[in-house]
A and B are shown apart, each in its own frame.
Chain A
Amino acid sequence: MTRVIRCLIYRDLLVAWRRRSDVAVTLLFFVIVVSLFPLGVGPEPELLRQIAPGVIWVAALLSSLLALGRLFEADHADGTLEQLALGAAPLGVVVSAKALAHWLVSGLPLVAIAPLLALQYDLPGGLYGVLALSLLLGTPVLSMIGAIGAALTLGLRGAGVLLALLVLPLFVPVLILGAGAVEMAAAGVGGHGQLLLLGAMLVVAAALAPWASAAALRISLE
Chain B
Amino acid sequence: MKWFWYASPQTFLPLAGTIARWCALAAALLTAAGLYIGFVVAPTDAQQGEVYRIIFIHVPAAWMSMFLYLVMAFWAALGLALNTRLSAMMAAALAPTGALFTFIALWTGSLWGKPTWGTYWVWDARLTSELILLFLYLGFIALRAAIDDPRRADRAAGVLAIVGVVNVPIIYYSVQWWNTLHQGASVSFTRAPTMAATMLAGMIVMAAAFWMYSIAVSLFRLRCMIRESA
Contacts and interface: CB of A to CB of B under 8 A. Distances in A.
A165 B139 CA distance: 6
A173 B167 contact: yes
A41 B3 CA distance: 59
B158 to A, nearest CB: 8
Where chain B touches its partner, the secondary structure class is helix
Given A162-B146, A173-B171, A184-B181, A152 B156 contact: yes
A162 B43 CA distance: 48
B212 interface: no
Given A176-B174, A220-B156, A170 B146 contact: no
A153 B152 CA distance: 11
Contact of A169 (B136, B152, B155, B159): B136
Contact of A172 (B139, B156, B160, B171): B171
B132 interface: yes
Nearest to B174: A173
Nearest to A157: B146
A216 B147 CA distance: 13
Interface residues of A, number: 29
A179 B110 CA distance: 27
Contact of A152 (B136, B160, B177): B160
Interface in A114-170: 148, 152-153, 156-159, 162, 165-166, 168-170
Contact of A166 (B80, B143, B155, B181): B143
A153 B174 contact: no
Given A156-B146, A165-B139, A172-B132, A212 B159 contact: yes
A184 B160 CA distance: 33
Given A168-B135, A169-B135, A219 B142 contact: no
Contacts of B166: 208
B178 A220 contact: no
A211 to B, nearest CB: 10
B173 to A, nearest CB: 8
A186 to B, nearest CB: 12
A96 B194 CA distance: 51
Given A172-B132, A219-B155, A177 B174 contact: yes
Nearest to A215: B159
A133 B181 CA distance: 20
A148 B159 contact: yes
Contacts of A212: 159, 162-163
Given A156-B147, A215-B159, A219-B159, A172 B152 contact: no
Contacts of B132: 169, 172
Contacts of B146: 153, 156-159, 162
Contacts of B143: 152-153, 162, 166
Most buried by B among A162, A176, A197: A176
Interface in B149-186: 151-152, 155-156, 159-160, 162-164, 166-167, 170-171, 174-175, 177-178, 181-182
A169 to B, nearest CB: 4
A133 B135 CA distance: 29
A210 interface: no
A222 interface: yes
Contacts of A92: none
A108 B171 CA distance: 25
A107 interface: no
Given A180-B178, A212-B163, A220-B152, 16 more contacts: A158-B146, A162-B143, A162-B146, A165-B135, A165-B142, A166-B142, A169-B139, A173-B170, A173-B171, A173-B175, A177-B174, A180-B181, A201-B170, A208-B166, A215-B80, A216-B159
Interface of A: 148, 152-153, 156-159, 162, 165-166, 168-170, 172-173, 176-177, 180, 183-184, 197, 201, 208, 212, 215-216, 219-220, 222
